[in-house]
Structure 1
Amino acid sequence: MGAYLVRRFGLMLLTLFGISVIIFVLLRVVPGNIVDILFDSAGMVNPAEKVKIEKELGLDLPIPQQYAAWIGGLVHGDLGYSYVSEKPAIAEIAPRIPVTAKLAAMALAFSVLIGVPFGVISAVRQNSAADYVLRVLSLSGLSLPSFWLGLLMLMGFVAWFGDMPIYTEPPATLWDELLLYAAPAAAVGFRSSALVMRLTRSSMLEVLRQDYIRTARSKGASASSVNYHHALRNAMLPVVTVIGLEAAFLIGGLIVTETVFNIPGVARFLVEAIRTRDYPIVQNLVMFIAVVVVVVNFIVDMLYAVLDPRIRYSG
């Protein structure tokens, strides 16, 4: 187990290093940079002034030196300064992380609490009326774009209730947070719940056809014991994988949802930073998302051993 953890941590570090190199280099080889954008917006054409700003921002240095300076700053907790707002990058990023994390957590909770139970019901009652209804519901969830569903929810709330909570300032209470994030979380979580539901159903059907399930039934085990104790636990391995992937996706994949509902989260801020070539913001946000993805994948691997005692990690 110890040897496996050492190898896995080494692979995680190698993955993060590769991502850091790719994002750093790509940002600097694409046409246009922050200096060009600043000059175009201000209408300035003085070449000497442009060279001076590039030197102040460190953009005149070779890319390897710029990369080394960035990594050195990360090691010491210095994320650099935003070129656009002229504030420390950590001051711009830190307040937005909890916003996206709460929205992603609520969306993931919605998808799991809806998808897993309905997937089990659909499998246990295969080819029944409930199964057909749930299958149509899951197909609808996979077919509807989250931004379109979000717009429908906005119009529906306004038409029926005359108002809808919109993010204008940080919510003061937990109840305000629930009201604020419930609609966008449901909009983006509906698709995830449909995916989890379909995967749970197919995995449950496969497990329910296994010999040990028939043996348990022949020994007089109750239907609930067979379905939830024997079948569901073994069917959860692929479902946990998808839930982990969805959790990682939600951190960086809420761009449209945050825009539709005017939520100042990480994903929306990342798009704005890419548009303005705000290198420190983009680099650090992408690295944050990469760390989340790598850590979630590691947690999923560890959950395999918990759910299936047959899985052992050894040297």
Structure 2
Amino acid sequence: MASYLVRRTFLMVLTLFGMSVLIFVMLRLVPGNISDILFDAAGFVDPKEKARLERDLGLDLPILTQYWHWISGLVQGDLGFAYVTEKPAIEEIAPRIPVTVKLAVLALIFSVVFGVPLGVISAVRQNTAIDYALRILSLSGLSLPSFWLGLLILMLFVRYFGFIPIYTDPPATLWKELALLSVPAAAVGFRSSALIMRLTRSSMLEVLRQDYIRTARSKGATPGSVNYDHALRNAVLPVVTIIGIEAAFLIGGLIVTETVFNVPGVARFLVEAVIWRDYPIVQNLVMFIAVVVVVVNFIVDMTYMILDPRIKYAD
């Protein structure tokens, strides 16, 4: 187990290094840069002024030097300066990370709390009326775009409550903020819960057909013991995988939801930075998302070892 942890950690670090190189190089391959945007927006026509601007921004340095400055600063907690606002990038990014994390965690909790139990019920009550109703519900969740569902929710709030649950001024307390974020979290979590529900159902049905389940029933085990102690414990591994994937997706996949509900999070800020070609903001936010994805996959692998002791990793 120790050797697996070492190899898995080394692989995680190697993956993050490769992602950092890819992110940095791909941003430089995109046509146009921040100097072109600032130069055109200000109406400059003097190439010497543009060259001076590129020197001030460090864009005239070799790409390897630029990468070294970025990655060494990233390790030390120095994310550079935002070109557009001329503020330290950490001051622009740090306040937005907690907002997106809270929204993603709420959406994930909503997905798991509704997806897993309903998936189990659908599998246990296979081909009954409740199973058909839950399957229709899950298909609806997979079919409805989150931005369209968000707009419907906003219109319903205006119609029946007379206000719109969007993020305007920062909430006074944590509970008010969570209450405000619960609406967009439910909108984006509906799709994730539908995906988890369908995967839980299919995994449970596969396990319920196994011989040891029939043996447990023949020995007089109660339906609850069969369904939860025997079946669910062995069907949960694929569900854990999809929960991990959804957790990583929610961190960077909330762009539309944050825009519809005016949430000042990381995802919406990333789109704004891409439009302005603000390299320090874009590459740091994309790197942040990459770190989240890699770390979540690492946690999922560790969870496998806890949930199923039969899993053995070769040294």
Q: Do the aligned residues in 2 keep the contact of 1:165 with 1:179 (CA within 8 Å)?
A: no
- SS of the residue 2:233 aligns to: helix
Q: Do the aligned residues in 1 keep the contact of 2:165 with 2:261 (CA within 8 Å)?
A: no
Amino acid of the residue matched to residue 35 of structure 2? V
* Matches of 1:293 and 1:48, distance apart in 2: 43
> In structure 2, what is the equivalent of residue 121 of structure 1?
121
In the TM superposition, residue 182 of structure 1 has moved relative to its aligned partner by: 1.2
- SS of the residue 2:196 aligns to: helix
In the TM superposition, residue 314 of structure 1 has moved relative to its aligned partner by: 4.5
Amino acid of the residue matched to residue 76 of structure 1? Q
* Matches of 1:230 and 1:164, distance apart in 2: 46
* Matches of 2:280 and 2:214, distance apart in 1: 59
> In structure 2, what is the equivalent of residue 269 of structure 1?
269
> In structure 2, what is the equivalent of residue 201 of structure 1?
201
> In structure 2, what is the equivalent of residue 8 of structure 1?
8
Number of residue pairs aligned between Structure 1 and Structure 2: 315
* Matches of 1:233 and 1:172, distance apart in 2: 42
Q: Do the aligned residues in 1 keep the contact of 2:102 with 2:178 (CA within 8 Å)?
A: no
- SS of the residue 1:288 aligns to: helix
- SS of the residue 2:231 aligns to: helix
Query: Does 2:252 align with 1:252?
Result: yes
Q: Do the aligned residues in 1 keep the contact of 2:116 with 2:197 (CA within 8 Å)?
A: yes
- SS of the residue 1:298 aligns to: helix
- SS of the residue 1:20 aligns to: helix
Q: Deviations over 1:165-194 (max 9, x none)?
A: 321122222331232111100110000000
Structure 2: runs of 5 or more not aligned = none
How do residues 216-231 of structure 1 correspond to structure 2 at under 5 angstroms?
Answer: 216-231=216-231
* Matches of 1:206 and 1:168, distance apart in 2: 47
> In structure 1, what is the equivalent of residue 213 of structure 2?
213
> In structure 1, what is the equivalent of residue 145 of structure 2?
145
In the TM superposition, residue 40 of structure 1 has moved relative to its aligned partner by: 1.4
Q: Deviations over 1:34-76 (max 9, x none)?
A: 0010111111111111100100111001111110111111122
- Root-mean-square deviation over aligned CA pairs: 0.9
Q: Which one is further off, 67-76 or 236-245?
A: 67-76
> In structure 2, what is the equivalent of residue 92 of structure 1?
92
Inter-CA distance 175–75: structure 2 relative to 1 (3 Å threshold): closer
- SS of the residue 2:78 aligns to: coil
In the TM superposition, residue 164 of structure 1 has moved relative to its aligned partner by: 2.5
> In structure 1, what is the equivalent of residue 155 of structure 2?
155
How do residues 52-201 of structure 1 correspond to structure 2 at under 5 angstroms?
Answer: 52-201=52-201
Q: TM-score, normalised by structure 1?
A: 0.98
Stretches of 4+ aligned residues off by more than 6 angstroms = none
Structure 1: runs of 5 or more not aligned = none
Amino acid of the residue matched to residue 114 of structure 2? I
- Percent of paired sites with the same residue: 78
* Matches of 2:174 and 2:314, distance apart in 1: 44
Q: Do the aligned residues in 1 keep the contact of 2:111 with 2:196 (CA within 8 Å)?
A: yes
> In structure 2, what is the equivalent of residue 242 of structure 1?
242
